[in-house]
Amino acid sequence: MKLIRRAVNVLLLLAAANYFPLCTLFPVRVGGTFYFISLASFAVINFFPRAKNESTKRIRRLADGTELLRLFLITATVTVVVQAAFLWQLLSLIIPGADGFGDGIIVVICMFSVLQALVLEAILFWNGMIRVYITSVQLGIKHRILAVLCGWIPFLNIWYLTKIIRIASDEVEFETEKWELDEVRAESEVCKTKYPILLVHGVFFRDFRYLNYWGRIPKELKRNGAAVYYGQQQSAASVEDSGKELAARIRAILDEAGCEKVNIIAHSKGGLDSRAAIAHAGCAPYVATLTTINTPHRGCIYAEHLLNKVPEHARQKVAAAYNSTMKKLGDENPDFLAAVADLTESACLARNETTPDMPGVVYESVMSYCGKARHGKFPLNATYPVVKHFDGKNDGLVSVDSAKWGTRFTLLEPAGKRGISHGDVVDLNRENIPGFDVREFYVNLVADLKKRGY
């Protein structure tokens, strides 16, 4: 049915774009009716390129844009051939030395034919491209820029258009399947845990309202029944200071939600902050579980090496610039150097001696890694080789060995060749990674907490 509709749309679009060549096949009195019908069909297809289907509004618009680009690619190719043949036929009727009036009419017809074809194909193209540019997440900045640059290069622009169509089509298929899965299990509320979920961010980030550190994960958890809260600690501070902030946040959540405990899922340094909140800030009775994600429990050797190599004046200059900027963005008392120092191997090993796992709290950990530097987005692709040299297998910042903690350790290994970086594991780049569905991973993680009574 889908292919039949597309074939019909292609024929109708070709009829509109190639009116002048086709109208020569009909009597004059039929030509006007044919012209009206072809243009009306062109308008309808541009508004409704596909049959209606159930999904999110963004995916429907992305699917429409992708279909319009497919139709453009097909019809533009055929139109070039049809228009070239039509022009060749008409221009061959021009007789050198004959009356110029007839020749003028032929030239005008040729001009109108080409102009109409160009205008209609351009409308079709830009209608599709704008929809895709506005709605696609997977296209990213890189492909958007490259598409603009390649658009000016013959043949390369066609190749890149097919690439854009493929990326957008894969996104439509993936997101539609995700939506259908959530619809089926919506009533089950598989993520409705006994205690709410507290998501704790890592270093150098904040829980901004309109720029979610956890990407699409919170929305997916809520859609499946979870109650989700955020740590809201400062972006950079010592582990102990961040732990105190988290402790205050946990108590506030208990009052707000009317619950006894929380389940913490903490990324990167957030895992160290959470352990400090539990062991040193009196929050052990209020935490049911702590799941750390890519947390450097045993520190980073490379961080200590770099910190010792950088001159003091350079460190102070960078710290002052960072602290000043983050104060303007909401941090009360940011401390760049304290945060970095607490991530070193010596600092983490020393802290582990004084930060025991508290009775009654379930400690678990998760870690991912990259196989190659290119598996991580900038700057993780640049830091990966350095971390590998000092710490071994890593995610661009944290080594696998450093992240192991608690009674259960999960190492994420995607089925495909693509690794999972420090940012990928919290959906920082909103990228659909082959072999690893980050949203589904967190749904399963929280669903497991529910099954175990937390």
Per-residue model confidence as pLDDT tens digits over 268-322: 999 999 999 999 999 999 999 999 999 999 999 888 888 888 888 888 999 999 9
Q: What percent of the chain has pLDDT over 70?
A: 93
Q: Across the chain, what does the average pLDDT equal? A: 89
220 & 263 share domain: yes
Does 185 reside within a domain? no
What pLDDT does residue 338 have?
93
353 & 217 share domain: yes
329: pLDDT confidence band, cut at 50, 70 and 90?
A: confident
Does 89 reside within a domain? yes
- Contacts for 347 with CB less than 8 Å, ≥ 6 apart: 299, 341
Among residues 152, 180, 208, the one where a domain terminates is 180
47 & 105 share domain: yes
Which domain range does residue 197 map to?
190-451
Does 146 reside within a domain? yes
What pLDDT does residue 110 have?
72
209 & 149 share domain: no
What pLDDT does residue 21 have?
73
What pLDDT does residue 444 have?
97
Residue 241 predicted with pLDDT over 50 = yes
128 & 226 share domain: no
Please report, for residues 14, 20, 74, 116, 313, the alpha-carbon distance to residue 42 in angstroms, rounded to integers and kept in the order given.
Answer: 9, 15, 15, 12, 66
141 & 206 share domain: no
131 & 209 share domain: no
Query: What's the domain count of the chain?
Result: 2
Buried b (16+ CB within 10 A) or exposed e, 9-40: bbebbbbbbbbbbbbeeeeeeebeebbeebee
Among residues 161, 180, 199, the one where a domain terminates is 180
The whole-model pTM stands at 0.85
CATH number at residue 314: 3.40.50.1820
Among residues 156, 180, 204, the one where a domain terminates is 180
144 & 224 share domain: no
Q: Which of 31-35, 73-77, 140-144, 173-177 has the lowest mean pLDDT?
A: 31-35
